[in-house]
Amino acid sequence: VDQFRNMANSKDEAGVFRFHKRQKDAGDAARGILNRKGFMERAAQEQYRFKRYRRPFAVAVMHIAVPDGLAANSVTAQAGHTFSKLLRAIDILGYIDDDRYAVLLAEITKESARTVVERISRHVAKELRAAFDVNVTVKYALRQYAGEELDALLATLCQRLPAKKSERKAN
């Protein structure tokens, strides 16, 4: 009987360990927000709501253009904190690349989402200019979800934005 109790307790501990590991893997500790994997998991829930209840949502990819010679990691980390402060509780923010963030705006149409994303990008650029005293621009690509795969949608939006510094050709 004691052996079965020990096995049952170890199973519960393993389940808790897996839960915490999954939570840790889904977030970016430095920025305090979701990483790409965590964003995709949360976005899958909105995708399900769209298929079942036809609740609209829009997805935007925000690109932080930092001048050369500046600590880009600190600027993009500050941008992530600013994004998280400006979004609603039902919106999803995820860090997907060195200088890119994905934003899922739930229960909103494309026209309303464009207004929100423009306002957020202006506010983030203004705050980053004030904090780091450099000219930082925030560009975005936005699209209303229409039932396609989320990976393909993110890839399409990322292609509309400027290439990453590592992907640019050397002149």
| Residue range 78-136, pLDDT digits in tens | 888 899 999 999 999 999 888 899 999 999 999 999 999 999 999 999 999 998 888 88
What are the structure tokens assigned to 67, written together? Answer: 């001048």
In this structure, are residues 85 and 37 in contact, taking their beta carbons and an 8 Å threshold?
A: no
Q: Return the sign of the alpha-carbon dihedral for residues 90, 88, 58, 103.
A: negative
- Measured between alpha carbons, how far is 85 from 87 in angstroms, rounded to an integer? 6
pLDDT number for residue 170: 46
Residue 83 gets which letter from DSSP? H
Q: Which residues pair with 137 in a beta bridge?
A: 65
Put the strands of the sheet holding 137-144 in their side by side order. 27-28, 33-35, 92-97, 100-106, 57-65, 137-144
- Measured between alpha carbons, how far is 28 from 76 in angstroms, rounded to an integer? 13
| Residue range 33-54, pLDDT digits in tens | 888 988 998 999 999 999 999 9
Q: Which residues pair with 48 in a beta bridge?
A: none
